[in-house]
Structure 1
Amino acid sequence: MLDGTIRASTNLEDSEDRIVVGRCVDGDVAAFSVLVRRYTPLMRAYARRMLSGSADVDDIVQDVFVAAWHRLPELREPEKVKSWLMRLVSHRCIDHIRRTGRETGLDGWDAPAEADASPSRVAENNARLRALGEALRSLPEDQRECWVLRELGELSYGEISSELDVPVSTVRGLIARARKSIIVRMEAWR
C-alpha cells in the first residue's frame, strides 16, 4: 500500500497544473501540497523582491496559499494557476507596501555573482545595483509599481492592468516613462 501511495504522489508531482488543480478542487490535500512545493520558491523570490527583504515574506506566501485553498474552485482556467498565484502574491505585497509605507526597490536583492568575478567587479556590480535602487526610488509610486511588476514580477501588461485596476494603456505609459527615467539615471553605467 505504501508503494502505491508513493507512486501516486510521484505521478501527481509530474502532472500538469490543470490536473493538480482539479484534484485540489475535489479536496485532495496531497495535490495541494504539490502546488505548494511547486510554486513556493517562485512566490517567495517574487515577494522578497517586492518587499525588499521584509521579514513578512513567508507570512505573505503562507497567507496566499491559505486563500488559494479556499478560492481554487473560483479559478476558471486551472492551467493558469501559476499566474493566478503570482497575482495573489502581488496583491498581498502591494497591500503590505501600502499598509506599511515601504518602498519597493533592489536594496534587499543580491545579484548572482559570476564564478570568476573579481572583488572590483563585484563592487562595481553592487554599486550599479545601488544606483538602480536609487533610480527606482526616484520614480513616482505608480511608475515604480508597474516597473517592478513587469521587470521583476514578469507580469504581462494585462495582468498588471488587472492587478492595479487601471487600463492597459495607462500601464504601457507608466512603464514607458519609468524605463525612460531609469535609462536617463543609469546613463553613467552604460
Structure 2
Amino acid sequence: FNGLALIIRPTPGGYINPTFHKLIIYTVANVPLTTILLFIFMAFAGVAILQRKNFGREIYAIGGDREKARRAGINVDKVEFLAYVVSGLSSAIGGLILAGQVNTGDAEIGLPYLFNAFIAVVLGGTLAGVGSFLQVIPAVLLMTSIRSLIRFLEMSTWYDFVVKGVLLVTVVAVQQKMARKGV
C-alpha cells in the first residue's frame, strides 16, 4: 500500500483541519490526553473482542492451526478477512492520529512504527495462536519507553533500532529454547 500512497502523493503535504490538530495534540499536565484515551479505548476493545467474542476465539484457533480450525467448522477465509479489516481500521486510526500530531500527511511517516508493532507482538508472545492481547499491551508500552528514553538521553535514533533489534533477537532465541524444552 505504501507504494500506491507514494504514487498519489510523493511528498508530504495536504491539509489537516486546525481543530482536529488541536484535539489530537491536546495535553493535560504535558500528557497527550487524546492519544492516551484512544490507547486505553483500543486496549479495552481489543481485550473484549479477543477474550469475549467468538471472533476472538476463532482468531486464536486459526493462529494455532489453520487446518484444525477449518475442520472445526470455522470459516477461516472470512475470519482472516475480518481480521485484516480490523487491522486496517486500526492502522487508519493510528494514521489519523499521527497526521494530526505532525499536522501534515506523509505516506512514509508510519514506517518506523511497523517495526515496533512487530516487536510488540513477538514480545507479547502472541504467536501461533498462543498468548493474549493483554501481554502485548506492556510490550507496546516498553517500545514507547525505549524510544522516549533514547530521545531523553539525546542519543541517535539509530540506537532505538539497535536496542529493539537486540531485544527481538533475544526474545526469539529464548522462545525457541523454551519451545525445544516443551515449556
Normalised by the length of structure 1, the TM-score is: 0.30
RCO higher in structure (CA 8 A, sep ≥6):
2
Normalised by the length of structure 2, the TM-score is: 0.31
